Amino acid sequence: MNMKRQTEFELRKISSRVFDKSTLMTLYTLTRRNSINEIVSIVSTGKEANVYYGIGGNEEVAIKIYAIETSDFKTMDKYIRGDIRFGEWKNRRQLIFNWAKKEFKNLSRIYKKVKCPRPIDVENNVLVMEFIGEGGIPAPRMKDLPPDDPEKYFNLILRYIHEMYSLGIVHGDLSEYNILNWNEPVIIDLSMGVLKSHPLADELLMRDITRICNYFKKFGIESNALEIFNSVKHKDAKENCGEDNRKGA
């Protein structure tokens, strides 16, 4: 794909259709840091965020820009309140900034052990991360391209759920809509992810597991969501107990 470097004027023209002056200034800040060199095309649009395809440094990047005015304030408040990583916020803008940082922190915690986009940078309401796809064409969602080997994918996704939990994170919105099919399952959209110490963690973990079990049931894979939930919790408790014992030794 022949891509043309965007001038500052072109960057402004693309962004000003949707985003305010503050977001434009944030994009310029990330450009100065070389996290974004150009914005090429739009990947997806939504009420909470738009995702763009671009170039940053020498690699393809996904640029997720959270909409300050149209995001669901009440939902975000529910998932971020009780998260010890964030203090109080005074207004919607501060909450959105924390929301972007939350996804960045969640990705940073898990990406070395769980297949997901590698986080690159975050500033205010803009998150820059690894682009999953090639030549500006994003990898398809598992909903749109079911796996050729459902059992392999099912087991990998369960492993990722275990790994995320052992790293202290519950995805919170896991389903075939938030998993890409790119030769293997790739977990995306971790903005709703909560720490396992969060008051909603168990409820969200059970919901994640149930959704995955229901999706793969269509392929003839039988499973028990409650047993998997208990397995995740038991394995984590056992590992933590062993770690505590080693610390005491």
Rounded to an integer, what distance in angstroms lies between the CA atom of residue 139 and that of residue 106? 21
Rounded to an integer, what distance in angstroms lies between the CA atom of residue 40 and that of residue 54? 5
Nearest residue to 37 via CA among 1, 61, 13, 64: 61
72 catalytic per annotation: no
Beta bridge partners of 63: 52, 128
121 catalytic per annotation: no
End-to-end CA gap in the chain: 58
* Structure token pair of residue 87: 């203090």
Residues 121, 173, 202, 236: which is the catalytic one? 173
What is the per-residue DSSP string for 218-231? TTT----HHHHHHH
Residues 20, 121, 148, 189: which is the catalytic one? 189
**Catalytic positions, written as ranges:** 173, 189
